[in-house]
Structure 1
Amino acid sequence: MFRITKEFHFSASHQLTHLPADHQCARLHGHNYIVVVELAGAELNSDGFVRDYHELAPLKNYIDGSFDHRHLNDVMEGPSTAENMARHFYDWCVSRWPETAAVRVSETPKTWAEYRP
């Protein structure tokens, strides 16, 4: 199986209001997010790619236009956890690129959430 990944960055605020008031994530705060999309295929296309990285530009446009420097509580359904964001970006990607295998989201250099069906 061939696998490729591409990384995207954005900054946003959020607040996990469903958590107890004394939980640090219940307070308004922000992160410098990293989103990594993984595509996989058993075969390569005629150009020798799983998919040309250039074809992933719509994801950058979507992130920049809908998530970057936004308050995630205003743009996402449900809690704006890294786990829910990974699933959201996976669903968005797989509807455009069926070879999408997983999406990972990082809120900090030491934390990652992944959605992989």
Structure 2
Amino acid sequence: MFRISKEFHFSASHQLAHLPADHQCARLHGHNYIVVVELAAKELNADGFVRDYHELRPLKIYIDEVFDHRHLNDVLNVPTTAENMAKHFFDWCQARWPETVAVRISETPKTWAEYRP
């Protein structure tokens, strides 16, 4: 199996207001997010790629236009956890690139969430 991945960055705020008031994530706060999309294929295409990295540019545009420097509670209709964001980006990517096998989201240098069906 051949695998590729590409990393994207954005900054945004969010609040997990459903948590107890004394939980740090219940307060309004922000992160410098990292999104990593992973694609896989058993065989390479005629150009020798799983998929040309340039073809992933629509994800950068989507992130820049919809997520970057936004309040995520105004963007997503689910709790804005890294887990839910990973699933959201996975669904978005898989609809465009069937080779998508996973999406990872980082909120901090030490934390990651992944959606992989």
TM bracket, shorter-chain basis = over 0.9
RMSD: 0.2
Mapped partners of 1:104, 1:18: distance in 2: 23
Report the CA distance between 1:77 and its aligned residue: 1.0
Q: Which residue of 1 aligns with 2:56?
A: 56
Report the CA distance between 1:89 and its aligned residue: 0.0
Q: Which residue of 1 aligns with 2:9?
A: 9
Q: Which residue of 2 aligns with 1:89?
A: 89
Mapped partners of 2:49, 2:97: distance in 1: 13
Amino acid at match of 1:102: A
Tell me the alpha carbon deviations over residues 32-54 of structure 1, each in whole angstroms, 9 at most, x when there is no partner: 00000000000000000000000
Pairwise mapping of residues 8-47 of structure 1 onto structure 2 (< 5 A)? 8-47=8-47
Mapped partners of 1:62, 1:22: distance in 2: 34
Q: Which residue of 2 aligns with 1:104?
A: 104
Q: Which residue of 2 aligns with 1:77?
A: 77
Mapped partners of 1:36, 1:50: distance in 2: 16
Q: TM-score, normalised by structure 2?
A: 1.00
Amino acid at match of 2:103: V
Tell me the alpha carbon deviations over residues 55-105 of structure 1, each in whole angstroms, 9 at most, x when there is no partner: 000000000000000000000011000000000000000000000000000
Mapped partners of 1:112, 1:74: distance in 2: 22
Structure 1 counterpart SS, 2:51: coil
Mapped partners of 1:35, 1:66: distance in 2: 14
Tell me the alpha carbon deviations over residues 11-31 of structure 1, each in whole angstroms, 9 at most, x when there is no partner: 000000000000000000000
- Identity, % of aligned pairs? 84
Mapped partners of 2:34, 2:94: distance in 1: 18
Mapped partners of 2:9, 2:99: distance in 1: 22
Number of equivalent positions: 117
Structure 2 counterpart SS, 1:21: coil
Structure 2: where are the runs of 5+ without partners?
none
